[in-house]
Amino acid sequence: MDKFRMIFQFFQSNQESFMNGICGIMALASTQMYSAFDFNCPCLPHYNLAYGLGILLVPPFILFLLGFVLNNNISMLAEEWRRPQGQRGKDPAVLRYMFCSMAQRAMIAPAVWLSVTLLDGKCITCAFCTSVPVETLGNASHPRLSQGEVQRVLARIPCKEIYNGQQLIANEVAVRYLRCISQALGWCFVLLMTTLAFLVRSLRPCFSQAAFLKSRYWSHYIDIERKLFDETCTEHARSFAKVCIQQFFEGMSTDLVAARCHLPRKAPADAGEAAEKLLGITDQGTMNMALKSWHRCKPPLHLHPPAQPTGNGWAGEGQPPTHPSAPRKETAAYYSWV
């Protein structure tokens, strides 16, 4: 149980670890979905290709879109891309980094699905069973079958229980031939994905490490800034609601006192603290204006240093200002010659 707790805490440590965990879970889910999927080839000449390629390509596309939907950064990317220029410029490198990061994670589950499907071989067997070279693997000189009948017989290769073309080509030979091709494609796909991942990981620091660090830093900054802004808005909404409720009950208490219902009245201890958290925004219109201003013109990424004192002749020449020392006590001593 402690190991699961440690893994869960690692996934919650930052946004990147959380999304890596989500992608890993989706990859495991894709393999479980394929193993639980009941593959039934229609065994018809005009439907086998559509069914086989549909099972091979449509679920990876759905998993790819699902990877984008589960990624919390997709809304942040869309907001950053569509927001007005305002006081802060938009860096295309940061937007590209965010999109590429999401796309790489979203492609993990589709790549696992394609690898498992190709290595299993059922989809390729169903889709291309009518393309088996009968001249090489079987008896192409069968005199009693036309071309259309040959296609119908070959379309039944994935359905072993209804296949009736053993005289044309053996079912085991055709299935093994197509499955070998499918597995070869699957291993080539796995090798290609592994090679691309290795090249991206190993060669990227050699060319654009500084630009990559800059893009990753500002991408994390945008994520943290959005979270802090949401937390600040939530805290302001809580304080606003608390003050509104307190004012409502105070008004009700005043009405009851006016109606000669003398009730004990005690000022809430946290009323002043809640009012301080409002930061001067005490009505709906002002809050809406603040939210619109945040969206339209975010503050520039430049922290202004505090103004330096210039009253004592110090104007920032590199020396710290000298604080006036505490006044010293002076004592007078009187000597008598008497």
Query: Is 172 contained in some domain?
Result: yes
3-class secondary structure, 56:
helix
Q: Does the residue 284 lie in any domain?
A: no
Same domain, 159 and 77: yes
Same domain, 159 and 61: yes
Residue ranges of the chain with pLDDT lower than 70?
A: 1-20, 140-143, 255-274, 306-338
Give the pLDDT score at 320. 46
**Structure tokens, 202:** 């190993």
Residue 130 DSSP one-character state:
G
Question: Are 83 and 112 in the same domain?
Answer: yes
Could you tell me what percent of the chain has a pLDDT over 70? Answer: 77
300 within a domain of the structure (yes/no): no
User: Is the dihedral angle over the CA atoms 87, 93, 98, 102 positive or is it negative?
Assistant: positive
Cβ–Cβ under 8 Å, residues 189 and 68? no
Tally the domains of the chain: 2
Q: Are 105 and 20 in contact (CB under 8 A)?
A: yes
Vertex 168 angle, CA 165 and 169, to 5°: 85
pLDDT at 127: 93
Question: Of 226, 260, 294, which marks where a domain is finished?
Answer: 260
Q: Please, which residues have CB within 8 angstroms of residue 49's CB and are 6 or more apart in sequence?
A: 127, 128, 130
Q: Are residues 224 and 201 in the same domain?
A: no
In a domain, residue 275? The reply is no
Instruction: Say yes or no: 102 and 248 in one domain.
Output: no
User: What are the helix (H) ranges across 83-170?
Assistant: 92-106, 108-120, 122-127, 134-137, 147-154
Q: What is the pLDDT of residues 294-326, one digit of tens each?
A: 888 888 888 877 655 555 444 444 444 444 444
Say what the pLDDT of residue 282 is.
80
- Tell me, what's the pLDDT at 307? 56
Residues 183, 54 share a domain: yes
Nearest alpha carbon to residue 114 among 194, 8, 41, 31: 31
Domain span holding position 250: 209-260
Both 113 and 150 in one domain: the answer is: yes
Claim to verify: residue 6 and residue 82 sit in the same structural domain: yes
Q: Tell me whether residue 271 is in a domain.
A: no
Q: Same domain, yes or no, for 139 and 224? A: no
Question: What is the reported pLDDT for 104?
Answer: 86
**CB–CB of 158/126 below 8 Å?**
yes
Q: What is the pLDDT of residues 52-79, one digit of tens each?
A: 999 999 999 998 998 888 877 788 888 8
34 in a structural domain: yes
pLDDT for res 306: 60
| 66 lies in the same domain as 109 | yes
- The 8-class DSSP code of residue 46 comes to T
Burial class (CB in 10 A: 0-12, 13-18, 19+), 36: exposed
Q: What is the pLDDT of residue 3?
A: 57
Please provide the DSSP assignment of 220-233 as one string: HHHHHHHHHHHHHH
pLDDT at 315: 44
CA 227 to centroid of chain Cα atoms: 14
